[in-house]
Chains A and B, each alone.
Chain A
Amino acid sequence: MGEFWEFVLAPVLIFESWQFGMEVVISGLLAGVMYSLVALGFVLIYKASGMFNFAQGVLVLFAALNLAGFIGLGIPIPLAILLTIGIMILFAVVVEYLILRHLVNQEQIILFMATIGLAFFLSAFGETIWGSDVKKLDIGIPQGRFEPFGIQIQYLELTAGAVAAALVTGLAIFFNKTKIGRALRAVADDHQAALSVGINLRTIWIIVWAVSGIVALVAGTMWGAKSGVQFSLSEIALKALPVLILGGFESIPGAIIGGLIIGLGEKLAEVGWGPYVGGAIEDWFAYILAMVFLVFRPQGLFGEKIIERV
């Protein structure tokens, strides 16, 4: 086999040692689950308000900072989690009161820029309160690994997978079976029609932001347990964006599947091609993958089909 083919097939060739290959696949899939957790928050808000919430990544950081901060103060873990959830709900109310209600009917790009402003504010606010040093976040997830069939798997990654599954199931039930969930779907379909059947748009927004705040807390806890709570968390969260466009902005299953594809793709690429080109291709591979994918399917995997009329 020539050098060229060795390079092109590098991500496949790592399966020569199938145990190593499986390890890469599993860690990729589980990293993907982590991305999905962040992406879920985006999807919730986009569905309910058409707002492309850039602050979701910072929300993840903010939630994790609060949780780590409370635990650092010596508050017992369950109480700290409850307190953080309280803060996320309070935050949703404040955002609705100060920002959302003033931006009704604005163009999408204006809403998007407002969330970037919010992201700036929130990240600085969190760090002003809790300090900008790296914090350990330990809420009792077992550390270490186990080795079925000689494949190493981290307990943490397994926990993240289980939590994501539980979260998605919970959200699916919430969206499909509860009254509030139906109201949320109505708002997502058509703001005006929802208003006219008596759904209170502002309450819905508060609920959506609170729910995505809690999703952010879950994501932040997982990320924080993995790599510590620090500012770069909000940048890792940017990876949720290619996940989103791959899966489609409006689709919860899309966020999960997109996350898995991105996580797996970039791990394989990093392990396979990374050594040839100087490494760290994880930084951009997800974006290029998503971009190439979009050229063939512009609305993402599960996005609503774009119908254009004049």
Chain B
Amino acid sequence: MFYREAGQFYTSYAKDQGIFQLRQDKYGLWGILFIAFIVVPVGLYLMVQGGLMAASTKDYLYNSIFLLLLVNSMAALGLNILTGYCGQISLGTAAFMGVGAFTAFKFSTGLNYRIQHEDDAGELVSQLVPLLPAIDNPILLVLIAGAVTAVVGVIFGLPSLRIKGFYLAVATLAAQFFLVWCFSRVEWLYDYVSSSTIQIPPLKLFGLVVTGSETVMRDGQQVTIYPAAETKYLICLSLVVFFAFVAKNLVRGRIGRAWMAIRDMDIAAQLIGIRPLATKLLAFAVSSFFCGMAGAMSLIFYLGALEGAEAFNINESFSVLFMVIIGGLGSITGSFLGAAFITLIPIFLVVVLPWLGGQFGIPVDAAMVEHIQFMVFGSLIIIFLIMEPLGLARLWQIGKERLRQWPFPY
């Protein structure tokens, strides 16, 4: 009743091609954006002020859930462009995210390289010399990270011209293992520290502290300012929303149609004048751009410091692939739904399992929780694939069809 197209006419070509065919969709999206940008930050702030919620709970929500969700959404968007729209299966997503994170780190510290020389006493002296001035704008860093990752993605996408299907999937594992090896063996990448850990230096945006902390003099006293969780959240949210629109418009234009033609049958696509080389490599570039940004966001906003081989291992690649499959291949909305599903399930299980165990008097320790978490996660995925192989996006579509008639089925 409330969700139907009766009375909405497309009176111009522009309207016929609109992103939102229905007024309700448009209002719905504005509503979601309004909630995400205004209701959530203001609401949580008011709840903390009103004493309804501890400040630590609010920070936990932002730092452990919302930011992770946004980072994963960005990565899922990237992989969905490659796998969902262009049909190239990739198992190297995490490695590309890693490239983004390390690029952001190197540029934020000014692309240091080391020169060693012997001093007068004959001892080896190492010195880090920056090549470029350090960049302290997080958004610029994220964009640079995306650009560099796009180049790396194109290089590892080159075999896709000859290799198809699962052979390609295994070939992308080469990217995964090679790059992750680099993250722990190429000293230049992590500024020669022995633990191969990278840590983002203090960054600022429009005078606001984003990472690290800043000490200022205020009223004659030294005050240390820590970054507000809201700042990180809003920057990430803006990036994700902006690039989701970019992705949506890419996939419904000429480029997206070329990708889909390649996906559905690449020889036929070639016959109708689509160049497979350019199209596939563009998909790899755009996809890696998104994944690289996700990795940079993960380092800058979500983790702050990380160890490359640990944070971007192959399980991360799989979990992004799960997001895309469970969300729905070839759907921008699906990327978000899938990211939410895969991100929230483990968090949910970590909270619920010990509680359930307590109810039945079974002690559940951390290792047990992890095992059960994996078992439930694995079974859920299988159940999901059996029930709805087209993913959450398809469920959402069915739901919309139902809403059209609800509550009066005539």
Contacts and interface: CB of A to CB of B under 8 A. Distances in A.
B241 to A, nearest CB: 28
B286 interface: no
B375 A128 contact: yes
Nearest to B326: A113
A249 B181 contact: no
Contacts of B267: 308-310
Contacts of A38: none
A297 B377 CA distance: 37
A124 B378 contact: yes
Interface stretch (A176-184, A201-209, A278-286): A278-286
B382 A114 contact: yes
Contacts of A102: 386
Nearest to A297: B162
B217 interface: no
A127 interface: yes
A298 B168 CA distance: 9
A197 interface: no
Contacts of A244: 170
B365 to A, nearest CB: 12
B291 to A, nearest CB: 19
Contact of A310 (B165, B166, B271): B271
A124 B163 contact: no
Contacts of B170: 241-242, 244-245, 287, 290
Nearest to A306: B164
Nearest to B268: A310
B371 interface: yes
Contacts of B389: 106-107, 110
B48 interface: no
B167 A300 contact: yes
B3 interface: no
Contacts of A132: 367
Contacts of A112: 166, 169
Contacts of B174: 242, 284, 287-288, 290-291
Interface string A84-120: 0000000000000011001100111110111011111
B237 to A, nearest CB: 29
Contact of A287 (B178, B372, B379, B386): B178
A296 B161 CA distance: 11
B385 A110 contact: yes
Given A114-B382, A120-B378, A121-B378, A284 B163 contact: no
Given A298-B162, A310-B267, A310-B271, A288 B167 contact: no
Contacts of A310: 265, 267-268, 271
Given A281-B181, A287-B178, A309-B267, A123 B374 contact: yes
A283 B177 contact: yes
- In this complex, the interface size class of chain A, counting residues with CB under 8 Å from chain B, is 35 or more
Contacts of A122: 378
Nearest to A278: B185
A295 interface: yes
Contact of B371 (A124, A283, A290): A124
A144 B36 CA distance: 65
Nearest to A235: B314
B20 to A, nearest CB: 30
A20 interface: no
Contacts of B268: 310
Interface string A120-139: 11111101100010000000
B200 interface: no
A73 interface: no
A266 B203 CA distance: 43
Interface string B234-245: 000000000000
B174 to A, nearest CB: 4
Contacts of B43: none
A1 interface: no
B89 A294 contact: no
B159 A295 contact: yes
Contact of B167 (A117, A119, A280, A294): A294
A277 B173 CA distance: 20
A117 B325 contact: no
Interface in B117-159: 159
B45 interface: no
Nearest to A101: B386
B171 interface: yes
Contacts of B378: 117-122, 124
A125 B381 CA distance: 15
Contact of A283 (B181, B329, B379): B181
Contacts of A295: 159, 162-163
A35 interface: no
A214 to B, nearest CB: 23
28 contacts: A98-B382, A102-B386, A107-B389, A113-B322, A113-B385, A116-B318, A117-B378, A119-B378, A121-B378, A124-B370, A124-B371, A128-B368, A128-B371, A128-B372, A242-B174, A245-B167, A245-B171, A278-B185, A284-B181, A287-B171, A287-B174, A290-B171, A291-B159, A291-B171, A298-B163, A300-B167, A309-B267, A310-B271
Given A113-B385, A242-B170, 13 more contacts: A52-B166, A99-B386, A108-B165, A114-B381, A117-B379, A120-B377, A124-B374, A242-B173, A245-B170, A287-B170, A287-B177, A295-B163, A310-B271
User: Which 5 pairs of residues, A with B, have the shortest CB-CB distance?
Assistant: A121-B378, A120-B378, A124-B374, A117-B381, A287-B174
